[in-house]
Protein backbone atom coordinates (compact mmCIF):
# COMPACT_ATOMS: atom_id res chain seq x y z
CA UNK A 1 0.00 0.00 0.00
CA UNK A 2 1.64 3.23 -1.07
CA UNK A 3 1.92 6.06 1.43
CA UNK A 4 1.82 9.56 0.05
CA UNK A 5 2.95 11.07 3.37
CA UNK A 6 6.61 10.04 3.18
CA UNK A 7 8.87 11.84 5.61
CA UNK A 8 11.68 14.00 4.22
CA UNK A 9 14.98 12.72 5.55
CA UNK A 10 17.76 14.74 7.08
CA UNK A 11 21.00 14.57 5.14
CA UNK A 12 23.78 12.39 6.47
CA UNK A 13 24.24 9.92 9.30
CA UNK A 14 21.63 8.48 11.61
CA UNK A 15 18.61 10.07 9.91
CA UNK A 16 19.62 9.61 6.28
CA UNK A 17 16.75 7.24 5.41
CA UNK A 18 12.98 7.21 5.00
CA UNK A 19 11.54 5.49 8.10
CA UNK A 20 8.29 4.49 6.40
CA UNK A 21 10.09 2.92 3.50
CA UNK A 22 12.52 1.18 5.86
CA UNK A 23 9.79 -0.20 8.15
CA UNK A 24 7.82 -1.56 5.18
CA UNK A 25 10.66 -3.24 3.31
CA UNK A 26 9.37 -6.47 1.79
CA UNK A 27 6.01 -5.88 3.46
CA UNK A 28 3.79 -9.00 3.75
CA UNK A 29 5.70 -10.81 1.01
CA UNK A 30 8.53 -11.16 3.51
CA UNK A 31 6.85 -13.64 5.86
CA UNK A 32 9.33 -15.59 7.96
CA UNK A 33 7.51 -16.58 11.12
CA UNK A 34 9.59 -16.99 14.25
CA UNK A 35 10.44 -15.07 17.40
CA UNK A 36 14.22 -15.19 17.56
CA UNK A 37 14.87 -12.12 15.41
CA UNK A 38 12.38 -9.98 17.34
CA UNK A 39 13.74 -11.22 20.64
CA UNK A 40 17.29 -10.33 19.65
CA UNK A 41 16.28 -6.92 18.32
CA UNK A 42 14.35 -6.04 21.46
CA UNK A 43 17.23 -7.28 23.62
CA UNK A 44 19.53 -4.88 21.79
CA UNK A 45 16.98 -2.09 22.36
CA UNK A 46 16.90 -2.69 26.11
CA UNK A 47 13.78 -4.90 26.27
CA UNK A 48 11.20 -2.06 26.13
CA UNK A 49 8.34 -4.58 26.32
CA UNK A 50 9.23 -5.38 29.93
CA UNK A 51 8.06 -1.95 31.12
CA UNK A 52 4.67 -2.21 29.42
CA UNK A 53 1.31 -3.55 30.60
CA UNK A 54 -0.16 -5.14 27.49
CA UNK A 55 -3.45 -6.55 26.22
CA UNK A 56 -2.59 -8.97 23.40
CA UNK A 57 -5.30 -9.60 20.77
CA UNK A 58 -5.36 -12.40 18.18
CA UNK A 59 -8.05 -13.79 15.85
CA UNK A 60 -9.09 -13.78 12.21
CA UNK A 61 -11.80 -11.14 11.95
CA UNK A 62 -12.68 -8.38 14.39
CA UNK A 63 -9.22 -7.95 15.93
CA UNK A 64 -9.04 -4.29 15.01
CA UNK A 65 -12.51 -3.44 16.30
CA UNK A 66 -11.87 -5.36 19.52
CA UNK A 67 -8.58 -3.50 19.99
CA UNK A 68 -10.34 -0.17 19.39
CA UNK A 69 -12.97 -0.91 22.06
CA UNK A 70 -10.35 -2.01 24.62
CA UNK A 71 -8.05 0.95 23.96
CA UNK A 72 -10.98 3.38 24.18
CA UNK A 73 -12.06 1.93 27.55
CA UNK A 74 -8.53 2.22 28.93
CA UNK A 75 -8.23 5.78 27.71
CA UNK A 76 -11.58 6.75 29.26
CA UNK A 77 -10.36 5.18 32.52
CA UNK A 78 -7.50 7.68 32.51
CA UNK A 79 -4.66 5.48 31.26
CA UNK A 80 -2.19 6.69 28.67
CA UNK A 81 -2.86 3.99 26.09
CA UNK A 82 -0.76 2.77 23.20
CA UNK A 83 -2.41 0.98 20.28
CA UNK A 84 -0.57 -1.10 17.67
CA UNK A 85 -2.55 -2.39 14.68
CA UNK A 86 -2.12 -3.45 11.06
CA UNK A 87 -2.50 -2.80 8.24
CA UNK A 88 -3.00 0.93 8.09
CA UNK A 89 -5.97 2.44 6.27
CA UNK A 90 -5.02 5.97 5.23
CA UNK A 91 -1.46 6.59 6.42
CA UNK A 92 1.35 4.51 7.86
CA UNK A 93 1.45 6.43 11.16
CA UNK A 94 -1.96 4.99 12.13
CA UNK A 95 -0.27 1.73 13.07
CA UNK A 96 1.30 3.28 16.19
CA UNK A 97 -1.05 5.44 18.26
CA UNK A 98 -1.14 6.84 21.77
CA UNK A 99 -4.55 7.93 23.05
CA UNK A 100 -5.79 7.52 19.46
CA UNK A 101 -3.30 10.04 18.07
CA UNK A 102 -0.99 8.77 15.34
CA UNK A 103 2.73 8.79 15.97
CA UNK A 104 4.24 11.99 14.57
CA UNK A 105 6.64 11.86 11.63
CA UNK A 106 9.37 13.20 13.91
CA UNK A 107 8.86 10.52 16.56
CA UNK A 108 8.61 7.85 13.89
CA UNK A 109 11.94 8.91 12.41
CA UNK A 110 13.57 8.92 15.84
CA UNK A 111 12.33 5.48 16.90
CA UNK A 112 12.98 3.96 13.46
CA UNK A 113 16.57 5.24 13.66
CA UNK A 114 17.02 3.43 16.99
CA UNK A 115 15.57 0.22 15.54
CA UNK A 116 17.60 0.47 12.33
CA UNK A 117 20.85 1.00 14.21
CA UNK A 118 20.39 -2.20 16.17
CA UNK A 119 18.92 -4.24 13.31
CA UNK A 120 21.91 -3.49 11.07
CA UNK A 121 24.16 -5.06 13.68
CA UNK A 122 22.27 -8.37 13.56
CA UNK A 123 23.49 -11.35 11.55
CA UNK A 124 19.95 -12.16 10.36
CA UNK A 125 17.97 -9.11 9.32
CA UNK A 126 14.43 -8.76 10.76
CA UNK A 127 11.35 -8.72 8.55
CA UNK A 128 9.27 -5.60 7.99
CA UNK A 129 6.66 -6.60 10.58
CA UNK A 130 9.36 -7.40 13.13
CA UNK A 131 10.89 -3.96 12.61
CA UNK A 132 7.59 -2.12 13.04
CA UNK A 133 6.70 -4.24 16.11
CA UNK A 134 9.99 -3.29 17.74
CA UNK A 135 9.50 0.36 16.79
CA UNK A 136 6.03 0.39 18.34
CA UNK A 137 7.10 -1.24 21.61
CA UNK A 138 10.09 1.11 21.88
CA UNK A 139 7.92 4.18 21.26
CA UNK A 140 5.32 3.10 23.84
CA UNK A 141 8.08 2.54 26.41
CA UNK A 142 9.78 5.85 25.65
CA UNK A 143 6.45 7.66 25.99
CA UNK A 144 5.76 5.83 29.28
CA UNK A 145 2.39 4.41 28.30
CA UNK A 146 0.31 3.06 31.18
CA UNK A 147 -1.23 0.39 28.95
CA UNK A 148 -0.78 -0.97 25.43
CA UNK A 149 -3.23 -2.83 23.19
CA UNK A 150 -1.22 -4.99 20.81
CA UNK A 151 -2.81 -6.60 17.75
CA UNK A 152 -1.25 -9.78 16.37
CA UNK A 153 -0.11 -9.45 12.77
CA UNK A 154 -0.35 -13.03 11.48
CA UNK A 155 -1.32 -16.10 13.49
CA UNK A 156 -0.07 -15.69 17.03
CA UNK A 157 2.28 -18.42 18.20
CA UNK A 158 5.17 -17.32 15.95
CA UNK A 159 4.04 -13.74 15.31
CA UNK A 160 6.57 -11.10 16.24
CA UNK A 161 4.19 -9.57 18.80
CA UNK A 162 4.31 -12.83 20.78
CA UNK A 163 7.47 -11.81 22.64
CA UNK A 164 5.44 -10.10 25.36
CA UNK A 165 3.92 -11.30 28.60
CA UNK A 166 0.55 -9.56 28.66
CA UNK A 167 -1.87 -8.71 31.43
CA UNK A 168 -4.77 -10.19 29.44
CA UNK A 169 -5.13 -12.03 26.12
CA UNK A 170 -8.16 -11.73 23.85
CA UNK A 171 -9.09 -13.90 20.87
CA UNK A 172 -11.45 -12.62 18.19
CA UNK A 173 -13.47 -15.04 16.00
CA UNK A 174 -11.33 -17.57 14.15
CA UNK A 175 -11.90 -18.82 10.61
CA UNK A 176 -9.94 -19.98 7.58
CA UNK A 177 -7.50 -17.31 6.38
CA UNK A 178 -3.81 -17.26 5.42
CA UNK A 179 -4.10 -21.04 5.11
CA UNK A 180 -0.83 -21.27 3.17
CA UNK A 181 0.99 -20.08 6.30
CA UNK A 182 -1.22 -21.04 9.25
CA UNK A 183 -2.76 -24.34 8.14
CA UNK A 184 -5.71 -25.54 6.12
CA UNK A 185 -8.17 -26.32 8.93
CA UNK A 186 -9.81 -24.19 11.62
CA UNK A 187 -8.13 -26.39 14.24
CA UNK A 188 -4.65 -25.71 12.87
CA UNK A 189 -5.32 -21.99 12.67
CA UNK A 190 -6.79 -21.93 16.18
CA UNK A 191 -3.62 -23.63 17.44
CA UNK A 192 -1.57 -20.76 16.02
CA UNK A 193 -3.91 -18.09 17.39
CA UNK A 194 -4.03 -19.73 20.83
CA UNK A 195 -0.25 -19.56 20.90
CA UNK A 196 -0.51 -16.12 22.51
CA UNK A 197 -1.91 -17.70 25.70
CA UNK A 198 0.60 -17.42 28.56
CA UNK A 199 0.78 -19.23 31.92
CA UNK A 200 -1.66 -17.76 34.40
CA UNK A 201 -2.68 -14.85 32.14
CA UNK A 202 -6.46 -14.37 31.78
CA UNK A 203 -7.92 -15.08 28.34
CA UNK A 204 -11.17 -13.70 26.90
CA UNK A 205 -12.55 -15.29 23.74
CA UNK A 206 -15.31 -14.25 21.38
CA UNK A 207 -17.72 -16.79 19.87
CA UNK A 208 -15.78 -19.56 18.12
CA UNK A 209 -16.50 -22.55 15.89
CA UNK A 210 -16.55 -25.76 17.92
CA UNK A 211 -13.14 -26.91 16.62
CA UNK A 212 -11.51 -23.59 17.47
CA UNK A 213 -13.15 -23.42 20.88
CA UNK A 214 -11.82 -26.87 21.76
CA UNK A 215 -8.26 -25.88 20.83
CA UNK A 216 -8.46 -22.63 22.81
CA UNK A 217 -9.81 -24.40 25.88
CA UNK A 218 -7.05 -27.02 25.70
CA UNK A 219 -4.35 -24.34 25.38
CA UNK A 220 -5.76 -22.33 28.29
CA UNK A 221 -6.01 -25.41 30.49
CA UNK A 222 -2.44 -26.43 29.68
CA UNK A 223 -1.19 -22.94 30.59
CA UNK A 224 -3.30 -22.64 33.72
CA UNK A 225 -4.81 -19.51 32.17
CA UNK A 226 -8.35 -18.59 33.28
CA UNK A 227 -10.59 -18.51 30.20
CA UNK A 228 -13.74 -16.40 29.93
CA UNK A 229 -16.41 -16.19 27.25
CA UNK A 230 -18.90 -13.31 27.40
CA UNK A 231 -22.39 -14.36 28.41
CA UNK A 232 -23.87 -13.71 25.00
CA UNK A 233 -27.32 -14.73 26.26
CA UNK A 234 -27.21 -11.58 28.42
CA UNK A 235 -26.10 -9.35 25.53
CA UNK A 236 -28.94 -7.15 24.28
CA UNK A 237 -28.78 -4.93 21.21
CA UNK A 238 -31.12 -3.18 18.86
CA UNK A 239 -30.75 -1.08 15.75
CA UNK A 240 -31.19 2.69 15.78
CA UNK A 241 -30.50 4.14 12.36
CA UNK A 242 -27.29 2.53 11.18
CA UNK A 243 -25.94 1.81 14.66
CA UNK A 244 -26.39 -0.62 17.53
CA UNK A 245 -27.53 0.22 21.05
CA UNK A 246 -26.04 -2.29 23.46
CA UNK A 247 -26.70 -3.48 27.00
CA UNK A 248 -24.41 -6.01 28.68
CA UNK A 249 -24.18 -6.60 32.41
CA UNK A 250 -23.89 -3.28 34.24
CA UNK A 251 -23.31 -1.46 30.95
CA UNK A 252 -26.71 -0.30 29.73
CA UNK A 253 -28.05 1.35 26.58
CA UNK A 254 -24.74 2.37 25.03
CA UNK A 255 -25.01 3.66 21.46
CA UNK A 256 -21.99 2.31 19.61
CA UNK A 257 -20.29 4.67 17.20
CA UNK A 258 -19.07 1.64 15.25
CA UNK A 259 -21.80 0.22 13.03
CA UNK A 260 -22.17 -3.44 12.05
CA UNK A 261 -24.32 -6.11 13.69
CA UNK A 262 -21.20 -7.95 14.86
CA UNK A 263 -19.91 -5.03 16.96
CA UNK A 264 -22.00 -5.85 20.07
CA UNK A 265 -20.10 -9.16 20.34
CA UNK A 266 -16.78 -7.32 20.10
CA UNK A 267 -17.98 -4.82 22.69
CA UNK A 268 -18.89 -7.65 25.08
CA UNK A 269 -15.39 -9.09 24.70
CA UNK A 270 -13.94 -5.66 25.53
CA UNK A 271 -16.12 -5.45 28.65
CA UNK A 272 -14.82 -8.83 29.83
CA UNK A 273 -11.24 -7.75 29.10
CA UNK A 274 -11.82 -4.65 31.24
CA UNK A 275 -13.12 -6.85 34.07
CA UNK A 276 -10.04 -9.09 33.76
CA UNK A 277 -7.79 -6.02 33.87
CA UNK A 278 -9.42 -5.04 37.17
CA UNK A 279 -8.04 -8.26 38.64
CA UNK A 280 -4.58 -7.15 37.44
CA UNK A 281 -4.71 -3.85 39.31
CA UNK A 282 -6.38 -1.56 36.77
CA UNK A 283 -9.00 0.87 38.08
CA UNK A 284 -11.71 0.80 35.40
CA UNK A 285 -15.16 2.00 36.42
CA UNK A 286 -18.43 0.92 34.83
CA UNK A 287 -18.82 4.50 33.63
CA UNK A 288 -15.41 4.36 31.89
CA UNK A 289 -16.45 1.13 30.17
CA UNK A 290 -19.67 2.73 28.88
CA UNK A 291 -17.89 5.88 27.72
CA UNK A 292 -15.15 3.84 26.08
CA UNK A 293 -17.58 1.68 24.12
CA UNK A 294 -19.50 4.74 22.96
CA UNK A 295 -16.38 6.64 21.86
CA UNK A 296 -14.60 3.79 20.08
CA UNK A 297 -14.07 4.24 16.35
CA UNK A 298 -12.42 2.07 13.72
CA UNK A 299 -11.94 3.14 10.13
CA UNK A 300 -13.04 0.88 7.32
CA UNK A 301 -15.19 -1.53 9.33
CA UNK A 302 -18.78 -1.03 8.16
CA UNK A 303 -18.00 2.67 8.25
CA UNK A 304 -20.81 4.93 7.01
CA UNK A 305 -18.98 7.74 5.23
CA UNK A 306 -21.82 9.50 3.40
CA UNK A 307 -25.61 9.62 3.35
CA UNK A 308 -26.33 10.83 -0.21
CA UNK A 309 -26.10 8.07 -1.25
CA UNK A 310 -25.61 6.04 1.90
CA UNK A 311 -22.04 4.88 1.38
CA UNK A 312 -20.41 2.15 3.45
CA UNK A 313 -16.74 1.22 3.45
CA UNK A 314 -15.98 -2.20 4.89
CA UNK A 315 -12.69 -4.05 5.22
CA UNK A 316 -14.30 -7.48 4.91
CA UNK A 317 -11.55 -9.27 3.00
CA UNK A 318 -12.31 -12.96 3.47
CA UNK A 319 -15.30 -15.29 3.68
CA UNK A 320 -16.06 -14.60 7.34
CA UNK A 321 -15.72 -10.85 6.82
CA UNK A 322 -18.05 -10.91 3.82
CA UNK A 323 -20.60 -12.97 5.76
CA UNK A 324 -20.51 -10.43 8.60
CA UNK A 325 -20.90 -7.60 6.10
CA UNK A 326 -23.89 -9.34 4.52
CA UNK A 327 -25.52 -9.81 7.93
CA UNK A 328 -25.23 -6.10 8.67
CA UNK A 329 -26.53 -5.10 5.26
CA UNK A 330 -29.54 -7.41 5.67
CA UNK A 331 -30.28 -5.89 9.08
CA UNK A 332 -30.13 -2.30 7.86
CA UNK A 333 -31.32 -2.73 4.25
CA UNK A 334 -33.58 -5.81 4.15
CA UNK A 335 -34.87 -4.90 0.67
CA UNK A 336 -31.36 -5.24 -0.78
CA UNK A 337 -30.58 -3.26 -3.91
CA UNK A 338 -27.03 -2.48 -2.79
CA UNK A 339 -24.51 -1.37 -5.41
CA UNK A 340 -21.05 -2.77 -4.65
CA UNK A 341 -17.58 -1.54 -5.54
CA UNK A 342 -15.56 -4.70 -4.96
CA UNK A 343 -11.94 -5.84 -5.11
CA UNK A 344 -10.31 -8.97 -3.72
CA UNK A 345 -7.02 -10.78 -3.41
CA UNK A 346 -6.87 -13.96 -5.46
CA UNK A 347 -5.73 -16.11 -2.50
CA UNK A 348 -8.99 -15.41 -0.65
CA UNK A 349 -12.11 -17.52 -1.06
CA UNK A 350 -13.65 -14.81 -3.21
CA UNK A 351 -16.29 -17.14 -4.66
CA UNK A 352 -17.73 -17.62 -1.18
CA UNK A 353 -17.51 -13.87 -0.59
CA UNK A 354 -19.56 -13.28 -3.73
CA UNK A 355 -22.15 -15.83 -2.60
CA UNK A 356 -22.55 -13.98 0.71
CA UNK A 357 -23.45 -10.62 -0.82
CA UNK A 358 -25.01 -11.65 -4.13
CA UNK A 359 -28.63 -11.81 -2.88
CA UNK A 360 -28.34 -8.20 -1.69
CA UNK A 361 -26.77 -6.82 -4.85
CA UNK A 362 -28.15 -4.70 -7.67
CA UNK A 363 -24.76 -4.27 -9.35
CA UNK A 364 -21.04 -4.81 -8.90
CA UNK A 365 -18.30 -2.46 -10.10
CA UNK A 366 -15.10 -4.46 -9.89
CA UNK A 367 -11.52 -3.26 -9.69
CA UNK A 368 -8.09 -4.64 -8.93
CA UNK A 369 -6.48 -3.82 -5.56
CA UNK A 370 -3.63 -1.45 -6.39
CA UNK A 371 0.05 -2.28 -5.97
CA UNK A 372 -0.50 -5.82 -4.73
CA UNK A 373 0.97 -8.91 -6.37
CA UNK A 374 -1.86 -11.01 -4.88
CA UNK A 375 -4.59 -8.93 -6.53
CA UNK A 376 -7.35 -10.60 -8.53
CA UNK A 377 -7.86 -8.96 -11.92
CA UNK A 378 -11.13 -7.04 -12.29
CA UNK A 379 -12.15 -9.11 -15.32
CA UNK A 380 -11.66 -12.34 -13.33
CA UNK A 381 -13.81 -11.01 -10.51
CA UNK A 382 -16.51 -10.06 -13.02
CA UNK A 383 -16.42 -13.58 -14.47
CA UNK A 384 -16.77 -15.10 -11.00
CA UNK A 385 -19.75 -12.87 -10.18
CA UNK A 386 -21.49 -13.72 -13.45
CA UNK A 387 -20.87 -17.44 -12.88
CA UNK A 388 -22.31 -17.22 -9.36
CA UNK A 389 -25.36 -15.34 -10.64
CA UNK A 390 -25.89 -17.94 -13.39
CA UNK A 391 -25.80 -20.74 -10.82
CA UNK A 392 -28.48 -18.92 -8.83
CA UNK A 393 -30.60 -17.96 -11.84
CA UNK A 394 -33.70 -19.43 -10.21
CA UNK A 395 -33.33 -16.92 -7.35
CA UNK A 396 -33.99 -14.05 -9.74
CA UNK A 397 -37.22 -13.22 -11.55
CA UNK A 398 -38.55 -10.78 -14.08
CA UNK A 399 -39.12 -8.37 -11.20
CA UNK A 400 -35.71 -8.90 -9.58
CA UNK A 401 -33.00 -9.02 -12.20
CA UNK A 402 -29.64 -10.65 -11.70
CA UNK A 403 -27.05 -8.04 -10.71
CA UNK A 404 -24.81 -6.70 -13.42
CA UNK A 405 -21.04 -6.86 -13.05
CA UNK A 406 -18.72 -4.32 -14.66
CA UNK A 407 -14.93 -4.23 -14.73
CA UNK A 408 -13.32 -0.88 -13.88
CA UNK A 409 -9.72 0.16 -14.41
CA UNK A 410 -9.17 1.94 -11.06
CA UNK A 411 -10.66 2.10 -7.55
CA UNK A 412 -11.74 5.67 -8.28
CA UNK A 413 -13.66 4.64 -11.39
CA UNK A 414 -15.43 1.81 -9.53
CA UNK A 415 -16.36 3.93 -6.51
CA UNK A 416 -17.69 6.83 -8.57
CA UNK A 417 -19.66 4.43 -10.78
CA UNK A 418 -21.16 2.62 -7.78
CA UNK A 419 -22.24 5.86 -6.10
CA UNK A 420 -23.74 7.16 -9.33
CA UNK A 421 -25.61 3.90 -9.93
CA UNK A 422 -26.95 3.89 -6.36
CA UNK A 423 -28.42 7.36 -6.75
CA UNK A 424 -28.90 9.85 -3.91
CA UNK A 425 -31.42 7.66 -2.09
CA UNK A 426 -29.63 4.34 -2.64
CA UNK A 427 -26.87 2.36 -0.96
CA UNK A 428 -23.30 1.90 -2.18
CA UNK A 429 -20.92 -0.46 -0.41
CA UNK A 430 -17.17 -0.65 -1.06
CA UNK A 431 -15.47 -3.81 0.23
CA UNK A 432 -13.21 -6.78 -0.42
CA UNK A 433 -9.67 -5.67 0.42
CA UNK A 434 -8.17 -3.56 3.19
CA UNK A 435 -5.44 -2.58 0.76
CA UNK A 436 -7.91 -0.58 -1.36
CA UNK A 437 -9.46 1.55 1.37
CA UNK A 438 -7.07 4.48 1.03
CA UNK A 439 -7.97 4.93 -2.64
CA UNK A 440 -11.67 4.30 -1.95
CA UNK A 441 -11.80 7.01 0.73
CA UNK A 442 -10.02 9.49 -1.54
CA UNK A 443 -12.51 8.85 -4.36
CA UNK A 444 -15.50 9.27 -2.04
CA UNK A 445 -14.15 12.57 -0.70
CA UNK A 446 -13.57 13.77 -4.27
CA UNK A 447 -17.15 12.87 -5.21
CA UNK A 448 -18.56 14.61 -2.13
CA UNK A 449 -16.61 17.77 -2.89
CA UNK A 450 -17.82 17.73 -6.48
CA UNK A 451 -21.44 17.30 -5.36
CA UNK A 452 -21.23 20.14 -2.84
CA UNK A 453 -19.77 22.46 -5.48
CA UNK A 454 -22.74 21.98 -7.82
Assign residue 443 the CATH number of its domain: 3.90.190.20
179 found inside a domain: yes
CA 244 centroid distance within chain: 19
Residue 122 phi, psi (nearest 5): -85, 150
6 found inside a domain: no
Same domain assignment for residues 175 and 241: yes
3 found inside a domain: no
The closest alpha carbon to 150, from 81, 222, 79, 251, belongs to 81
Overall average pLDDT of the 220-240 stretch: 96
2 found inside a domain: no
Instruction: Give the model confidence (pLDDT) of 9-48 as tens digits.
Output: 444 478 888 999 999 875 444 567 789 999 999 999 999 9
422 found inside a domain: yes
Same domain assignment for residues 290 and 343: no
Same domain assignment for residues 271 and 152: yes
198 found inside a domain: yes
Q: Are 317 and 433 in contact, with CB atoms under 8 Å apart?
A: yes
Q: Are 427 and 310 in contact, with CB atoms under 8 Å apart?
A: yes
Candidate from 23-32, 86-95, 276-285, 384-393 with smallest mean pLDDT: 23-32
What rounded mean pLDDT belongs to the chain? 90
pLDDT at 270 over 60: yes
Q: Which of 267, 295, 323 lies at the terminal end of a domain, its last residue?
A: 295
Q: Which of 295, 330, 361 lies at the terminal end of a domain, its last residue?
A: 295
Candidate from 27-41, 273-287, 342-356 with smallest mean pLDDT: 27-41
Q: Which of 265, 295, 325 lies at the terminal end of a domain, its last residue?
A: 295
Same domain assignment for residues 262 and 356: no
pLDDT at 177 over 70: no
Instruction: Give the model confidence (pLDDT) of 183-223 as tens digits.
Output: 779 899 999 999 999 999 999 999 999 999 999 999 999 99
Same domain assignment for residues 270 and 322: no
DSSP string, 257-316: SS-STTHHHHHHHHHHHHHHHHTTT----HHHHHHHHHH---TTSSEEEEETTEEEEE--
5 found inside a domain: no
Report H helices in 102-165. 105-119, 128-142
Same domain assignment for residues 269 and 377: no
Same domain assignment for residues 264 and 324: no
CATH code for the domain of 195: 3.40.1190.10
Overall average pLDDT of the 305-314 stretch: 92
Same domain assignment for residues 388 and 357: yes
List residues bridging with 342 in a β-sheet.
366, 431
Same domain assignment for residues 101 and 234: yes
pLDDT confidence of residue 179: 56
318 found inside a domain: yes
357 by DSSP, 3-state: which? helix
Give the separation between CA 173 and CA 244, rounded to whole angstroms.
19
The closest alpha carbon to 430, from 57, 89, 96, belongs to 89
Q: Are 149 and 72 in contact, with CB atoms under 8 Å apart?
A: no
Number of structural domains (the chain) is 2
pTM, two decimals, is 0.87
171 by DSSP, 3-state: which? strand
Residue 333 phi, psi (nearest 5): -135, 70
The closest alpha carbon to 171, from 223, 129, 230, 221, belongs to 230
pLDDT band, residue 123 (cuts 50/70/90)? very high
Same domain assignment for residues 262 and 309: no
pLDDT confidence of residue 30: 54
pLDDT confidence of residue 260: 87
182 HSE (CA, 13 A, CB side): 26
Q: Where are the beta strands (DSSP E) in 277-357?
A: 303-307, 310-314, 338-342
- Tell me the pairing of strands 54-58 and 168-171: parallel
Same domain assignment for residues 29 and 74: yes
The closest alpha carbon to 339, from 331, 348, 329, belongs to 329
Q: Are 18 and 9 in contact, with CB atoms under 8 Å apart?
A: yes
pLDDT band, residue 89 (cuts 50/70/90)? confident
CA 353 centroid distance within chain: 17
Domain that holds residue 432: 303-453
Residue 166 phi, psi (nearest 5): -80, 170
Same domain assignment for residues 392 and 369: yes
Amino acid sequence: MADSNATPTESGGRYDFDPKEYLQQGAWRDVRLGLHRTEELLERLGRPQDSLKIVHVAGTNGKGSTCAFIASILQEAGYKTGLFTSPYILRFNERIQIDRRDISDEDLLEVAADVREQALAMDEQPTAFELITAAALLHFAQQECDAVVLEVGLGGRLDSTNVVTPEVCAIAPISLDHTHVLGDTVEKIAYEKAGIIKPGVPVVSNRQPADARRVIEQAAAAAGAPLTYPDFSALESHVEGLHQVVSYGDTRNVALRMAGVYQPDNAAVAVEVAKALRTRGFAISDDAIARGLAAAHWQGRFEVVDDRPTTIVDGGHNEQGAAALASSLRAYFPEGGVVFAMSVLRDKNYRAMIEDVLPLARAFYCFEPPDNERALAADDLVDAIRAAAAERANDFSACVAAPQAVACSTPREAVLAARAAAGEDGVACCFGSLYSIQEIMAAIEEDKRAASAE
